[in-house]
Amino acid sequence: MNKSRVIIGLSGGVDSSVAAYLLKEQGYEVIGLFMKNWHDDSVTISDECPWLEDSNDAMLVANKLGIPFQTVDLSVQYKERIVDYMFKEYENGRTPNPDVLCNREIKFDVFMDIALELGADYVATGHYCRKATFEKEGKQIHQLLAGVDTNKDQSYFLCQLSQAQLAKALFPIGELTKPEVREIAKAQDLITAEKKDSQGLCFIGKVRLPEFLQQQLKPKEGVIVEIPETLNTYHKSIPRFDSKTNELAFHADKTEYSISDGKVVGKHQGAHYFTKGQRKGLAVGGTKEPLFVIETDVNENVIYTGQGKNHPGLLRSVLFVKNEELHWVREDLALKDDETMQVKARIRYRQPLENATLYKVDSGLYVEFQNKQSAITEGQFVAWYLDDELIGSGVIS
């Protein structure tokens, strides 16, 4: 009997361990591969989740399951495609999402190429999401569906995958909840059964982000400015628009601030270390409500803040994605200019899905939310869904 060969990314965590076990149970020929993406231990918080311990756990799981195992070093590609990109984005005052990029660029590209060279029919991961396939006009269409465990659904992290990548992907634990996954690991006596979920950068473990960034981005002192809610800009009357596009452009426009709009309340060590919506690390006290970052200006090196999570500077209902940063998982559903679509969308992982409308214009795509969203952040990904299917995404510009 011809068994399909599956290469699974074993991370040394419980999710990929159970995914490997399930594949084996389903009769696949399974090979485990651990990705080493990082060499510089000086910025990882070593006792939290060093790659060595993880690769060791992955190897023990592979031994227990009786599957071949090896480590692949992808640190060169990881540095080029993820780390350098992150530095550049932070330097430009944008906030990248390394996990989304890691899936698109590393796990389902570099890693997938290695797997296919090793004769794999499929690549599997321990993501909480599902895949379905149907035929449309004689062509196979692959769907990326949310995981059954709504609390753990990780479809958002895979929002940049293509049909070609999905065709070769398997997500064995997508139908399970996290407690069920842990139960299976316990029953199979896998060393990872009780292991804590890793936080931090994908496959690097916990990294001290400020120190990590400081290696490249030099600290430079600047001021923290508090903007009052009474700022005129927030209360200007909304003009009458001659087209929906003009209205969307007006609401998508972010507020430009200058130091004279507020008062200086503190100092910081570099605007590029901060991100919109951030509350911690400002070290400014004495305000009635906590201060939140509402905008960073990396050119002038100023951080603008506002009091409370409902500060008008944090809230916006429309965002824009440029054509070159627009991605359709379901290419067959891609909008043409002037077309619209009702969807559910999110602008960050684990955010509940919100009602939104997509508007395609010649330069890109507007996403208009029914409710105002907090801290819409340039460089992050917006993903949109029909029911529980993720159909597209883009980088917020």
pLDDT tier for residue 90 given thresholds of 50, 70 and 90: confident
Mean pLDDT of 372-392: 97
Using DSSP's 3-state secondary structure scheme, residue 276 falls into coil
Q: What is the maximum span of the chain, computed from C-alpha positions, in angstroms?
A: 75
DSSP state of 201: B
What does the pLDDT average to over 235-239? 92
Residues annotated in a binding site for ATP: 9-16, 35, 126
| 97 Cβ contact partners less than 8 Å away, ≥ 6 residues apart | 379, 380, 381
pLDDT one-digit tens code per residue, 125-168: 999 999 999 999 999 999 999 999 999 999 999 999 999 999 99
In the structure, what pLDDT confidence band is assigned to residue 209 with cuts at 50, 70 and 90?
low
Going by C-alpha positions, the residue among 348, 365, 351 that lies closest to residue 100 is: 348
The answer to whether residue 102 is catalytic is yes
Band of residue 385 on the pLDDT scale cut at 50, 70, 90: very high
Classify 315-395 by CATH class.
mainly beta
202 has catalytic annotation: yes
The annotated binding site is made up of 9-16, 35, 126
Residues 6+ apart with CB under 8 A from 259: 223, 225, 300, 302
Q: What is the pLDDT of residue 213?
A: 72
- CATH 2.30.30.280 intervals, the chain: 222-240+250-308
- The pLDDT of residue 40: 64
Q: What is the DSSP letter of 102?
A: I
- DSSP E strands in the chain: the ranges are 5-9, 29-36, 69-73, 122-124, 129-136, 139-146, 169-170, 222-226, 263-268, 291-297, 302-307, 315-322, 326-328, 340-346, 354-361, 364-374, 381-386, 389-395
| pLDDT greater at residue 40 or residue 292 | 292
Taking residues 208-221, what's their average pLDDT? 77
Residue 83 half-sphere exposure, CB side, CA atoms within 13 Å?
22
3-state DSSP call for residue 220?
coil
CATH number of 222-240+250-308: 2.30.30.280
Look over the chain and give the mean of its residue pLDDT values, rounded to a whole number: 92
Q: Which of 49, 129, 159, 202 is catalytic?
A: 202
Q: Provide the pLDDT for residue 86.
A: 87
Beta strands at 222-226 and 263-268: parallel, antiparallel or unpaired: antiparallel
Neighbours of 92 (CB within 10 A): 13
- Residue range 57-69: average pLDDT? 97
Gyration radius from the chain CA atoms: 23
C-alpha 18: how far from its chain's center? 23
Region for 226 from its dihedrals, namely left if φ exceeds 0, alpha if ψ lies in -120 to 50, beta otherwise? beta
* Catalytic residue chosen out of the listed positions 49, 102, 129, 159: 102
Query: How much of the chain, in percent, has pLDDT values that exceed 70?
Result: 93
Q: Residue 136 class from Cβ within 10 Å (0-12 exposed, 13-18 middle, 19+ buried)?
A: exposed
Contact (CB, 8 A) for 331 and 136: no
- What's the full length of the chain, in residues? 397
Beta pairing partners, 25: none
At 94, the amino acid letter reads R
- Asked if pLDDT for residue 200 goes beyond 80, the answer is no
- CATH 2.40.30.10-classified regions of the chain: 315-395
Give the architecture (CATH level 2) of 5-214. 3-Layer(aba) Sandwich (3.40)
User: Which phi-psi region, left, alpha or beta, contains residue 243 (left: φ > 0; alpha: ψ -120 to 50)?
Assistant: beta
- In the numeric block, which tokens belong to residue 249? 């452009």
49 pLDDT more than 60 = no
Residue 307 has pLDDT above 60, yes or no: yes
Taking the C-alpha atoms of residue 256 and residue 234, their distance in angstroms, rounded to an integer, is 11
Gap between the terminal Cα atoms of the chain: 51
In the predicted structure, residue 29 carries a pLDDT above the cut 80? yes
pLDDT bin (cut points 50, 70, 90) of residue 204 is low
Q: Which is it for the CA torsion 233, 234, 240, 245, positive or negative?
A: positive
pLDDT at 43 over 80: no
List every span in the chain annotated with CATH 3.40.50.620: 5-214
Q: Are 284 and 291 in contact (CB under 8 A)?
A: yes
Which pLDDT value is given to residue 53?
84
Q: What is the pLDDT of residues 259-289, one digit of tens each?
A: 999 999 999 999 998 999 999 999 898 999 9
